[in-house]
Amino acid sequence: MEKMSEDRYLTFALGKGRLANKTMELFEKIGVTCEEMKDKDSRKLIFVNEDLKFRFFLAKGPDVPTYVEYGAADIGVVGKDTIMEENRRVYEVLDLKYGKCRMCVCGPKSAEELLKHHEMIRVASKYPNIAKDYFYNRKHQTVDIIKLNGSVELGPIVKLADVIVDIVETGSTLRENGLEVLEEICPLSARMIVNQVSMQMEPERIKRLITDLRAHL
């Protein structure tokens, strides 16, 4: 009975944008570099570090857990909000502590009263699963959830919804639109997730990576 799997690439899926940049900065600290990725004009989709046998690609945030669940990527870096919303079967191994913000229930001050009772309200959100879990399982309040895809703050302003569930960083967009944080659902930050199979097939390599990263957080 022979085994193969030496020299296999470890593939990383990184959420596009600031998160990916921060992640590469952190990886550089532990000696994982990818020069190819720094070339802004490159049209490549996959970046390789041949020495370490690491491959990187950028993906839209909500797709990262999907790539990792199906093993198209071994490891992913993505916001906690995405992990909660997507609810994929992956190992969530590390809190990278950057990209910090909060998941909150927001609305006009007048809506505060609505959250104190169990009456039916309308909630608009880009995160229907998180909103549903919060109101049903933690607040035990029956709500009507409306999925929106952007500018969720509009919801209460144009009376589409009573409150919204959304990510709050500084709260300035809220304030400019006469809204405020009414309740905090949970803190958020960037997380590293690992495919279950990869973790079992390559425990030493992945464990070493986690230990190194943890030492630099």
Partner 1 sequence: MSSHLLHTPEGVRDIYGEEKAKKTAVERLLRQKIESYGYRDIQTPTFEFFDVFSKEVGTTPSRELYKFFDKEGNTLVLRPDFTPSIARCAAKYFMDEDVPIRFCYQGNTFTNTSLLQGKLKEVTQMGAELIGDASVQADAEMIAMTIEALYHAGLSDFQISVGNLEYFKGICAEAGLSEETELELREYISGKNFFGAEELLDSAGVERRDRELLLKVSELFGTAAILDEAKRAVTNERSRNAVKRLEKVYEALCEYGVEKYVSFDLGMLSKYNYYTGIIFKGYTYGVGDAIVKGGRYDSLLGRFGKDAPAIGFMIVVDDLLAAMNRQGVAVEGEEACLRLYYGEKDFHDKLAEARELRAAGKRVELLPKQ
Stretch that binds partner 1, among 25-33, 91-99, 132-140, 174-182 (CB under 8 A): 91-99
42, 142, 151, 196: which one contacts partner 1 (CB under 8 A)? 196
- Per CB under 8 A, 215 contacts partner 1: no
- The C-alpha torsion from 174 through 176 and 179 to 185, rounded to 10°, is 10
Whole-number Å distance between alpha carbons of 22 and 120: 41
| Least distance to partner 1, CB of residue 66, Å | 8
Q: How far is CA 52 from the centre of its chain?
A: 26
CA dist 90 and 179 (Å) reads 35
Q: Could you tell me the smallest distance in angstroms from the CB atom of residue 64 to partner 1?
A: 13
Of the residues 113, 200, 208, 216, which one makes contact with partner 1 according to CB under 8 A: 200
Regarding 207 and contact with partner 1 (CB under 8 A), the answer is yes
* Residue spans of beta strands (DSSP E) within 96-172: 101-107, 121-125, 143-147, 163-168
For partner 1, what does the binding mask look like between residues 1 and 30, x meaning CB under 8 A?
Answer: xxxxx-------------------------
CB of 108 to partner 1, least distance (A): 32
Question: How many C-beta atoms lie closer than 10 Å to residue 131's C-beta?
Answer: 25
**92 belongs to the binding site for partner 1 (CB under 8 A):** yes
Q: Which of 187, 199, 211, 4 is nearest to 102 (CA)?
A: 187
* Closer residue to partner 1 (CB): 70 or 119: 70
